[in-house]
Amino acid sequence: MSETRTEISSLGEFGLIDHLTRNFEIQNASTILSVGDDAAVIDHFGKQTVITTDLLIEGIHFDLMYTPLKHLGYKSVIVNLSDVYAMNAIPTHITMSIGISNRFSVEALDEFYEGVYAACSKYNVDLVGGDTSASQKGFIISVTGVGEVAPDKFVKRSTAKKGDLVCVSGDLGGAFLGLTLLEREKKIYLENPQIQPDLENEDYIVGRLLKPEARKDIIEFFEKNDIVPTAMMDVSDGISSEILHICKQSNLGCRLYEEKLPIAELTRQAAFKFGLDPTVCALNGGEDYELIFTLKQEDYDKITLNEEIAVIGYMSELEEGCKLLTKGGNTFDITAQGWNAFRG
Ligand SMILES: Nc1ncnc2c1ncn2[C@@H]1O[C@H](COP(=O)(O)OP(=O)(O)OP(=O)(O)O)[C@@H](O)[C@H]1O
Ligand SMILES: Cc1ncc(C[n+]2csc(CCOP(=O)(O)O)c2C)c(N)n1
Ligand SMILES: [Mg+2]
Q: Based on the domain organization, do 172 and 272 belong to the same domain?
A: yes
Residues of the domain holding 196: 165-333
The tally of domains found in the chain comes to: 2
Task: Indicate the DSSP class of residue 31.
Answer: E
Q: Based on the domain organization, do 127 and 203 belong to the same domain?
A: no
Report the nearest atom of ligand 2 relative to the CA of 339: 19
Q: Based on the domain organization, do 140 and 193 belong to the same domain?
A: no
Q: Based on the domain organization, do 300 and 211 belong to the same domain?
A: yes
Q: Based on the domain organization, do 131 and 279 belong to the same domain?
A: no
- Is 344 a member of any domain? no
- Is 338 a member of any domain? no
Q: Based on the domain organization, do 130 and 232 belong to the same domain?
A: no
- Least Cα distance to 134 among 80, 98, 170 occurs for 98
Q: How many residues can be counted in the chain? A: 344
Alpha-helix runs per DSSP H in 160-211? 174-191, 203-210
Q: Based on the domain organization, do 241 and 100 belong to the same domain?
A: no
CB of 336 within 8 A of CB of 247?
no
Q: Is the CB of 54 under 6 A from ligand 1?
A: yes
Q: Is the CB of 148 under 6 A from ligand 1?
A: no
Q: Is the CB of 236 under 6 A from ligand 1?
A: yes
Q: Based on the domain organization, do 181 and 305 belong to the same domain?
A: yes
Ligand nearest to the CA of 238: 2
Q: What would you report as the CA-atom Rg of the chain, rounded to the nearest whole angstrom?
A: 21
Q: Ligand 2 center to residue 104 CA distance, Å?
A: 22
Q: Based on the domain organization, do 39 and 174 belong to the same domain?
A: no
Q: Ligand 2 center to residue 28 CA distance, Å?
A: 31
pLDDT tens for the chain, 344 residues: list them. Answer: 567 899 999 999 999 999 999 988 999 999 999 999 899 999 999 999 999 999 999 999 999 999 999 999 999 999 999 999 999 999 999 999 999 998 899 999 999 999 999 999 999 999 999 999 999 999 999 999 999 999 999 999 999 999 999 999 999 999 999 999 999 999 999 998 888 877 777 999 999 999 999 999 999 999 999 999 999 999 999 999 999 999 999 999 999 999 999 999 999 999 999 999 999 999 999 999 999 999 999 999 999 989 999 999 999 999 999 999 999 999 999 998 777 877 75
CATH number for the domain that contains residue 273: 3.90.650.10
- Is 95 a member of any domain? yes
Q: Based on the domain organization, do 92 and 23 belong to the same domain?
A: yes
Q: Is the CB of 202 under 6 A from ligand 1?
A: no
Task: Give the end-to-end CA distance of the chain in Å, rounded to a whole number.
Answer: 36
- Is 259 a member of any domain? yes
- Is 155 a member of any domain? no
Q: Which of 51, 53, 54 for a ligand 1 pocket mutation test, highest count of atoms within 8 Å of Cβ?
A: 54
Chain CA centroid to CA 228, Å? 21
* 257 appears as a binding residue in the annotation: no
